[in-house]
Structure 1
Amino acid sequence: MIPSIVTDELSGDPETAFELGLEWGVDRFELRGIHDGRVPRLDRHARQRLLRAVRGFGVTITAISPGLFKCPFPAGEPARSNLGWMDKGFFQNWEEARSLVEDHRRNLLPASIDFAREVGAKFIIAFSFSRNGAASGEAPAGVIELLSEAAAAADAAGLELLVETEEGHWADTGARSAALVERAAKPSLAINWDPANALIDGDVPYPQGYAALKHLVRNVHFKDARVYPDGSWELLAQGDVDWAGQIAALAADGYEGAIAVEPHLSPSVASTRNALARLRSLIEDAKARPSTVGKKS
């Protein structure tokens, strides 16, 4: 298990994020937001500065998160109304959703593949389309088809596509995320496991959620959350995810990948530094745990 940092959790300026991370002993990073943009859709100057920073600081980019398929999946046809103005609105919304999905498929996906190869990342993090208010359940066949197609394109470039568990999306809990990936049946399609996101959508991420998808986990996001009885939730420095159990399980299962610090809290630098310290402590505890098995206290 190797701690990494999502750069824009520290700073929108990747040079600053790399510099701080290296000072803290972290040399692996995940790329998402750069200044006011999101990879790979950067202007040429921002891209050139980013590439120069990656090479100059000698850091490793573990994954990129371009927001691929983080949008509603449109129904087969638009909703209808007997009222002309409302019917037109339904049609326009449906057409816009279809256009956005097509843009991701035809433009964002190949651009993300090119960018990942350019920065040396092995993984592209994708999403499973917003349910747009629909109840949790089995993902539509069209979602599976598009993820399968995207995974095949990534595989052809020597990369893997990782579906992130995300509240409000078709891959929300551990079990539903695993089922979605297994339906796609592509070796290059796996999971970016975010236990806090799964918790928000009603999962018990560890042990139940993790048990369903542990064989598919290639990258992990480290943040925490709490869900209240009324259904509201918030992100916290320490919430209700059993991170001690989760990290110990990852260690026991021989997970050797990155665990990316992503607290989503302010102030950015202090929150990321504190989350990193917590993660490192949990990893050390997990490493020490096997040595105590079978010994009397």
Structure 2
Amino acid sequence: MTVTQPGWTLSGFGDEISPDPLVQAAVLQALGASHIEVRSAWETNIVEMEEAELLRLAGILREEGMGVSAVASPIGKVDVSLPVSHEVERLRRAINAANVLDTHYIRIFSFYRGEGLGPEDVRGPVMERMQALSAEAQAGGVVLLHENEKDIYGDTPERVLDIMKTVDSEALRVAWDPANFVQVGVKPFTEGYENLRPYLEYLQVKDARASDRLVMPAGEGDGELQETIAALREDGFTGFASLEPHLANTHHLGGFSGPSAFGVAGRAFRRLTDDAGVTLR
């Protein structure tokens, strides 16, 4: 009897490769990816693009045969003291971008806080904003993916779970970033996987070393990628795995790797999935 291996869809942050979407697509395809995660193109963030730019980008990706796994928006990567309407309005722009690019996933965050404030001090305002964003997403027919960025409210498994349970919306799910967990002193799989798995819908492929918080290729840090991949395979996960290596410098639009380092990251991840019996498509 032939056993079918579970398949995951490989994607990646195109602007970690180059500002040029044609280069982004070429490198991702060389790594076997069929999709791209769009954060920016031509050095313009996705929520700042004019309609003509969005249509141009959608046309290029369509001609190159690339699907879009998610819009990697900066929504929620701001101080929680800003009005609720500030991020709701930006989310509307992200929803429009998702519609133009034919994806239903939008990555978001759960807000920074002012100096001297602890997570408990901003919990109420964070939940108010996350509920407003989720309601907007529900109405717009998209799913928000919360990334556990360091220093936001939801940077630990406990607080991510708090958000998921409190908001309690099918329009809000988890984007799992193991490197970011490592960088706040968490053992991702050991300390977070079991509780967050019911909400985990998207895997961001990034690893980090606990000793100095340095970002590493998948499997070379302390992000417990091997354990996570094996568990997701056993759980029947069949979603997106998106490369976000951060192996070179960061810039105003986010992390950067360049084509060569991005290739290193992609091949490292494929070695892990090959070992786990997961097919990337």
> Normalized against structure 1, the TM-score is what?
0.82
> For 1:191-270, what aligned pairs fall within 5 Å after superposition?
191-228=174-211, 233-237=213-217, 238-266=220-248, 267-270=257-260
Match of 2:72 among 31, 56, 65: 65
Mapped partners of 2:90, 2:242: distance in 1: 23
User: What's the counterpart of residue 87 of structure 2?
Assistant: 104
- Output the amino acid matched with 1:130: Y
Shift of 1:43: 3.7
Please point out which of 16, 22, 25 is paired with 2:29.
Answer: 22
Asked which structure has the greater RCO (Cα within 8 Å, sep 6+), the reply is 2
| SS class of match (1:227) | coil
Match of 1:42 among 37, 45, 49: 49
Specify every segment of 5 or more residues in structure 2 that has no aligned partner in the other structure, as ranges: 1-7, 249-256
Instruction: Map 1:1-297 onto structure 2 (within 5 A).
Output: 1-74=8-81, 97-98=82-83, 102-105=85-88, 107-133=89-115, 134-137=117-120, 140-228=123-211, 233-237=213-217, 238-266=220-248, 267-287=257-277
- Give the fraction of aligned pairs with identical amino acids, expressed as a percent: 27
How far residue 20 of structure 1 moved from its aligned partner, in angstroms, is 1.9
The amino acid of 1:240's aligned partner reads D
Long gaps (5+) in structure 1: 75-96, 289-297
Q: Could you tell me whether the CA contact under 8 Å between 2:27 and 2:263 is conserved in 1?
A: no
> What is the letter of the counterpart of residue 54 of structure 2?
R
Q: Is the 2:54–2:100 Cα contact (8 Å) retained in structure 1? A: no
How far the C-alpha of 1:162 sits from its partner, in A, is: 1.2
Q: CA RMSD in A?
A: 1.8
2: CA distance, partners of 1:139 / 1:221: 26
Residue 162 of structure 1: SS of its match in structure 2?
strand
After TM superposition, give the deviation of residue 175 of structure 1 in Å.
2.4
- When the two structures are aligned, how many residues end up with a matched partner? 260
Deviation at 1:8, TM superposition (A): 0.7
Give deviations 1:15-44, integer Å, cap 9, x for gaps. Answer: 211122123321111110212221021145
Tell me, what secondary structure is at the counterpart of 1:153? helix
Structure 1 position 10, deviation (Å): 1.2
Structure 2 Cα separation of the partners of residues 165 and 210 of structure 1? 13
TM-score by length of 2: 0.86
Q: 8 Å contact 1:3–1:279 — kept in the other structure?
A: no
Secondary structure of the residue aligned to 2:260 is helix
1:69, distance to aligned residue in structure 2 (A): 1.1
In our comparison, the structure showing a higher alpha carbon Rg is 1
